[in-house]
A and B are shown apart, each in its own frame.
Chain A
Amino acid sequence: EVQLVESGGALVQPGGSLRLTCAASGFTFISYSMNWVRQAPGKGLEWVSYISSTSDSIYYADSVKGRFTISRDNAKSSLYLQMNSLRDEDTAVYYCARDRCSSSSCYWFDFWGQGTLVTVSS
């Protein structure tokens, strides 16, 4: 059974940093690209970042470019999101989502985690 479990969400002050982790199981992690998607309170989903299976291709939404860094450890079947210079508008539930493709994106996600809440507030 495919499982994606996010962790690391917390309350953090504006300007602070946080590292999210997505632990994957039930499939061959290295065979899939991965993404982070977030949902702010009362808002729709927002794509945040993409990483290919071997980390060769990485993309970010303009709203997080220069502040967030996506990475993965295929040996540990884990996906990460390092978030720096956090702003109030980064408050959201963050989901990791499996991309159906490997070296490039299929632009749709066949499995998602249940999310982890990040709250940016003073």
Chain B
Amino acid sequence: HSALTQPASVSGSPGQSITISCTGSSSDVGSYNLVSWYQHYPGKAPKLMIYDDSKRPSGVSDRFSGSKSGNTASLTISGLQAEDEADYHCCSYAHSTNLVFGGGTKLTVL
């Protein structure tokens, strides 16, 4: 089962909004409301940002939002801040392999 497809990198200036895409197929992203997103600073523990496509855990800033259209899920970060600079990984349930991750996206705040 192929990994989900994410852009290798995205960038934005403080205060702007950016969107990270996560493209799968009808076997994973498109068939289940089970996409999650994780923020990961190198050398640290990944942190859950979004689960079940668009739900935000308690304590996560409302600047982070998740959405989905067809086989593509998206993570949007509004009001970009320097502390948002990190790697972001999407993940989806996939019937054949249980769970599949994307390749990760490095967010740079200019």
CA distance A113 to B91 in the complex (A): 17
Task: Output the least CB separation between B2 and chain A (Å).
Answer: 12
**A108 contacts B34, C-beta separation under 8 Å:** yes
Collect the chain B residues with CB atoms within 8 Å of residue A56's CB: none
* Residue A44 at the chain B interface, CB threshold 8 Å: yes
* Residue A27 at the chain B interface, CB threshold 8 Å: no
**A61 contacts B97, C-beta separation under 8 Å:** yes
B53-67 vs A: 1/0 string, CB under 8 Å?
Answer: 000010000000000
**B46 contacts A112, C-beta separation under 8 Å:** yes
CA distance A50 to B104 in the complex (A): 21
Task: Output the least CB separation between B50 and chain A (Å).
Answer: 9
Collect the chain B residues with CB atoms within 8 Å of residue A10's CB: none
Categorize the interface residue count of chain B.
20 to 34
* Residue A45 at the chain B interface, CB threshold 8 Å: yes
A52-84 vs B: 1/0 string, CB under 8 Å?
Answer: 000000010110000000000000000000000
B33-71 vs A: 1/0 string, CB under 8 Å?
Answer: 010101000011111100110000100000000000000
B81-110 vs A: 1/0 string, CB under 8 Å?
Answer: 000000001011100011111111000000
**B93 contacts A44, C-beta separation under 8 Å:** no
Collect the chain B residues with CB atoms within 8 Å of residue A46's CB: 101
23 contacts between A and B (CB under 8 A): A4-B45, A43-B103, A43-B104, A44-B3, A44-B6, A44-B102, A45-B46, A45-B104, A47-B97, A62-B97, A97-B46, A106-B51, A107-B36, A107-B93, A107-B98, A108-B52, A109-B38, A109-B46, A109-B48, A110-B51, A111-B48, A113-B45, A115-B45
